[in-house]
Structure 1
Amino acid sequence: MSTATENFVKAIYNNNSHDAHNTKPGNIAKKLGISSAAATDMAKKLAAKDLLNYQKYQELQLTEKGRKMAMNIIRKHRLWEAFLFKMFDMSLHDIHKEAELLEHQTSDLLANKMSEYLGHPKFDPHGDPIPNAHGEITTTDTSFPLSQAAAGNTYIISRLTSDDKEFFEFCAQHKLKYGHEIKVSKQFKNNKMTELSVHNNTILLNEDFTTLIYVNSTK
């Protein structure tokens, strides 16, 4: 399959994972930086190949064949992120950019070899789950946005859900990394801000950040 096809089905899967109503062709077009007309044309072509279901003005839904393709690409992407992070200690932004390119050039054989070399990791450095060779995610996600965390409790950062360079630079600077422990000092509900403590430093974050940082309770 072409890179354009793989990116299209991956975008549908990722958008659907975050918002079931965000998979209309226009929204997928914004995600991929193409026109709405081009997205609609692609949707029709992929529907003919049984990769998705297309109905005018409706959300796009992947078929089982399309879902398997998306999971295969996502697996390769996240394995590359884990590999590049381990081998070269690259930034989270840079490993994402490189994985976007490498995922399309990676055979299933190489993906399996990377997974074996890395010890079959369950999560990538962002905290996103890595599907297994059968396209299955075998972990249970109990995380929730930092914006919903209760004041006075301690949490573990479980996922950073952005691909923005400045976001990752800020997180690295303030030690907001996957697996790190943080304590929520106060939630300013009216102003949609969160005060937290990380390594004895106090940070105040607005909702633009706290909705992108997912946490799990330490209990």
Structure 2
Amino acid sequence: MSVAIENFVKAIYNNENHDITDTKPGNIASKLGISSAAATDMAKKLDAKGLLNYEKYQALRLTKKGEKMALNVVRKHRLWEALLHQMFDMSLHEIHREAELLEHETSDFLAEKISEYLGHPKFDPHGDPIPNADGEITTKDTSIALINAEENTEYIVSRLMSTDKEFFEFCALNGIKYGNKIAVKKQFQNSKMTQITIHSNTIVLNQDFTQIIYVNEIN
């Protein structure tokens, strides 16, 4: 399949699973940087190939075949992120950028070799689950968005759901990293802001950040 098709089904999968927008062609177009007309044309073509279900004015839905393709691309992307982060200590933005290119040039054979080398990781450095070779996600996601966290409670950062360079730079500067412990001190409901402490530092985050930082409560 072409890079354009792989990116299209992956965008639908990502929007369905952890994006704040739905999967209507216009939203997929915005995500991919193409016109709405081009996205609609692609959706019709992929409907004919049995990769998704297209209905005018409705959100796009992947078929089993389309979801399997998307998960295969996601697997390769996240394995590359894990490898690049481990070998070169590249930033979260850098590994995402490079994995976007490498995912399309990677055979299933090489993906499995990378997975073996890394010890078959379950998560990438962003905290996103890595599908196995059968296109299955075997981990259970119990995380919540930081905006929904309880006050005076400690959590572990479990996921950073963004591709934005400045977001990752901010997180790196403040120690907001997958696996790190934070304490939620105060939820400011009216202003939609959250006060946290991490590494003895106190910072306040707005909802643009607290909606894409996910955490698990420390039991």
> Aligned AA for 2:127?
G
1:32 aligned partner: 32
1:21 deviates by 6.5
1:131 aligned partner: 131
User: TM-score normalised to the size of structure 2?
Assistant: 0.98
Distance (whole Å) between structure 2 residues aligned to residue 78 and residue 205 of structure 1 = 27
> Aligned AA for 2:11?
A
Q: Does 1:192 align with 2:173?
A: no
Of all paired residues, the percent bearing the same amino acid is 71
1:19 deviates by 5.4
- State whether residues 21 and 59 of structure 1, in contact with CA within 8 Å, keep that contact through their aligned partners in structure 2: no
Distance (whole Å) between structure 2 residues aligned to residue 120 and residue 3 of structure 1 = 26
Judging changes above 3 Å, is the alpha-carbon distance between structure 1 residues 21 and 189 closer, same or farther for their aligned structure 2 residues?
Answer: closer
1:18 deviates by 2.7
User: TM-score normalised to the size of structure 1?
Assistant: 0.98
Q: Does 1:94 align with 2:111?
A: no
* CA deviations over 1:142-164 (Å, ceiling 9, x no partner): 00001111110000000000000
Structure 1, unaligned stretches of length 5 or more?
none
* CA deviations over 1:71-130 (Å, ceiling 9, x no partner): 000000000000000000000000000000000000000000000000000000000000
2:42 aligned partner: 42
Distance (whole Å) between structure 1 residues aligned to residue 50 and residue 111 of structure 2 = 25
Alignment map for 1:1-219 (pairs within 5 Å): 1-18=1-18, 22-219=22-219
Judging changes above 3 Å, is the alpha-carbon distance between structure 1 residues 122 and 28 closer, same or farther for their aligned structure 2 residues?
Answer: same
- State whether residues 21 and 27 of structure 2, in contact with CA within 8 Å, keep that contact through their aligned partners in structure 1: no
Distance (whole Å) between structure 1 residues aligned to residue 175 and residue 19 of structure 2 = 29
Secondary structure of the structure 1 residue equivalent to 2:187: strand
Count of aligned pairs: 219
Judging changes above 3 Å, is the alpha-carbon distance between structure 1 residues 19 and 127 closer, same or farther for their aligned structure 2 residues?
Answer: closer
Distance (whole Å) between structure 2 residues aligned to residue 47 and residue 102 of structure 1 = 26
Distance (whole Å) between structure 2 residues aligned to residue 138 and residue 151 of structure 1 = 31
Distance (whole Å) between structure 2 residues aligned to residue 103 and residue 86 of structure 1 = 17
**RMSD of the TM alignment (CA)?**
0.9
* CA deviations over 1:7-58 (Å, ceiling 9, x no partner): 0000000001135971111110000000000000000111111111111111
Distance (whole Å) between structure 2 residues aligned to residue 78 and residue 21 of structure 1 = 22
Distance (whole Å) between structure 2 residues aligned to residue 208 and residue 123 of structure 1 = 24
1:191 deviates by 0.9
Distance (whole Å) between structure 2 residues aligned to residue 105 and residue 46 of structure 1 = 21
Distance (whole Å) between structure 1 residues aligned to residue 21 and residue 55 of structure 2 = 14
* CA deviations over 1:141-188 (Å, ceiling 9, x no partner): 000001111110000000000000000000000000000000011111
Question: Which runs of at least 4 in structure 1 moved beyond 4 Å after TM superposition?
Answer: none
Structure 2, unaligned stretches of length 5 or more?
none
> Aligned AA for 1:213?
I
Distance (whole Å) between structure 1 residues aligned to residue 8 and residue 182 of structure 2 = 36
